[in-house]
Amino acid sequence: MNSVLNRYNELVAAEELRPDPEQAAAAAKLDALQQELEAPAPASGFFGKLLGRKAAPPPRGVYMWGGVGRGKSMLMDLFHDNLNITAKRRAHFHEFMLDVHDRLREERKKESGDPILPVATAIASETRVLCFDEMVVNNSADAMIMSRLFTALMVEGGVTIITTSNRAPSDLYRNGLNREHFMPFIALVEARLDVLTLNGPTDYRLQRMQGVGTWHIPIGPVSTEAVREAFFRLTDYPPEDSLHVPSAELDVGGGRMLHVPKSLKGVGVFSFKRLCGEARGAADYLAIARHFHTVIVVAIPRLGPDLRNETARFITLIDALYENKVKLIATAAAEPAELYDWSGKGDEEGRFMFDRTVSRLMEMQSEDYLALGHGED
C-alpha cells in the first residue's frame, strides 16, 4: 500500500493532474487520516478497563464538495485503495441507502422497537470506514432517518465517514419536504467531519469529453468506437482490456435487479433494447439516474407509433436522466429532432409528447448542462 499524498504527487508529476492547491490540501488531509486509521489502537490496559475508561473516539471524517469533475471521487478512490485496513467499504450513496432501507424492513419484522439502532450496529460491526460517492439527498424517506442513522454510526458505532458531494452540507436536501427534521444531520456533519471545498480551475470530466461528443449517428462501428472512447476517457479503464470491464447488478427496488453490462466509476453502459425494449417503469429509470453520473445508451432506433411502448419508456428514461442532471452519451439512428418517425401517420399527439424529449436531448448536449453536478437542482 502507498500513501494518498505520495500517489497524488505522482499523478501531478506525471502531468495526469494539474497542480491544484485545493486538491493538494484535500490529499494531505486524507493522508493524515490514512495514517491515523492505520496506526495501532492504543491498549487500554488492565487499569483502564478497571476504571471503565472509554475507547478513543474514531478519527474525524472528511466531506469533500465542489463542482463536477474537480477530482473529488479521484481523491476518495486514492484514499480507499491505499488504506491498509480490511474493514472498509466504498459505495455510491444511493446504493448504501437502498441497503439501509432493506435492512430496516427486515428489522421491522421483528417488532422490537426502533429498527435504526440495530441496523447501524450491524453496519458498524462490518466496517470501520465508509466511503460514499456523491452524497445527495432527494427523498424524504432518506432525509427522515439520516440524523439518527449517522449519529448511531459515527458517535456510537465508531465509524469514520468520507464522502463526496456536489453541495455544501448546508445545501443538502434544500427545499425538501419537512427539512427541519433533516437539519440535525447537517449539524452532525459539520461537527464530526472536516468539510473541504474542491472548486479548482480544471473540470477534468468536461476536459476529457472535449472532442468526443455525446450524440453519435448513425448506428454503426464509427459511433460505437466514439462512445467506447468516451467510456475509457471517463473511467481510465485501458481500452485494450475492454472485454474485462466490470459489470454490475443494480437494485431498482421491489426485490428486482437490473444487469448493467458495463459499470465503472459512476458510468453505466446499456443497450436501448435492455432499457426500453423490456417492461420497465419510472422507478427503474430513477434508480439508474441516481446511481450513475453518466449513462451511455447504445443503438437508439427511430421511434414513433410503430414502437409506441418503447417510445413511452424512452421519454420516461430521458425525464429521469434530465431531472437528475445525468450526462447522456448515445449512438442513435438520427439526430434528436429527427428521432421520432411519424411519417404523416396522423400521430400529432405522440409527436407533441416527444417534442419535450427533443428539447431535453438538445439541452443535455450543451456545455452548460455538462458542467452541472449530478443530482443538482
Classify residue 375: in a domain, yes or no.
no
**Torsion sign, CA atoms 253, 87, 136, 113:** positive
* Each residue's pLDDT tens digit, 72-129: 888 998 999 999 999 999 988 888 888 898 899 999 988 878 899 999 999 999 999 9
Classify residue 376: in a domain, yes or no.
no
> Tell me, what's the pLDDT at 33?
96
Number of domains the chain contains:
2
DSSP 118-167: HHHHHHHHH-SEEEEES----SHHHHHHHHHHHHIIIIIT--EEEEEESS
Q: What percent of the chain has pLDDT over 90?
A: 49
Q: Residue 332: which domain range?
A: 204-370
330 and 279 in one domain? yes
158 and 115 in one domain? yes
141 and 256 in one domain? no
**Helix/strand/coil percentages in the chain, nearest 5:** 50, 15, 35
Please say which residue of 197, 224, 252 terminates a domain: 197
- Phi, psi of 254, rounded to the nearest 5 degrees: 65, 25
User: Long-range pairs for 102-105 at CB < 8 Å and ≥24 separation?
Assistant: 104/145
188 and 225 in one domain? no
Classify residue 317: in a domain, yes or no.
yes
Please say which residue of 155, 176, 197 terminates a domain: 197
C-alpha cell at 339: 428521432
Kindly report the CATH number assigned to the domain that includes residue 180. Answer: 3.40.50
> Tell me, what's the pLDDT at 82?
93
* Each residue's pLDDT tens digit, 156-183: 999 999 999 888 999 898 888 888 989 9
245 and 112 in one domain? no
37 and 78 in one domain? yes
* Each residue's pLDDT tens digit, 298-338: 999 999 888 989 999 999 999 999 988 899 999 999 999 99
First CA to last CA distance, the chain = 39
Classify residue 377: in a domain, yes or no.
no
193 and 212 in one domain? no
Please say which residue of 152, 178, 197 terminates a domain: 197
341 and 214 in one domain? yes
Classify residue 54: in a domain, yes or no.
yes
Identify the H or E element spanning 252: strand 248-253
Work out the pLDDT band at 204, boundaries 50, 70, 90: low
Pairing status of strand 256-260 against strand 248-253: antiparallel
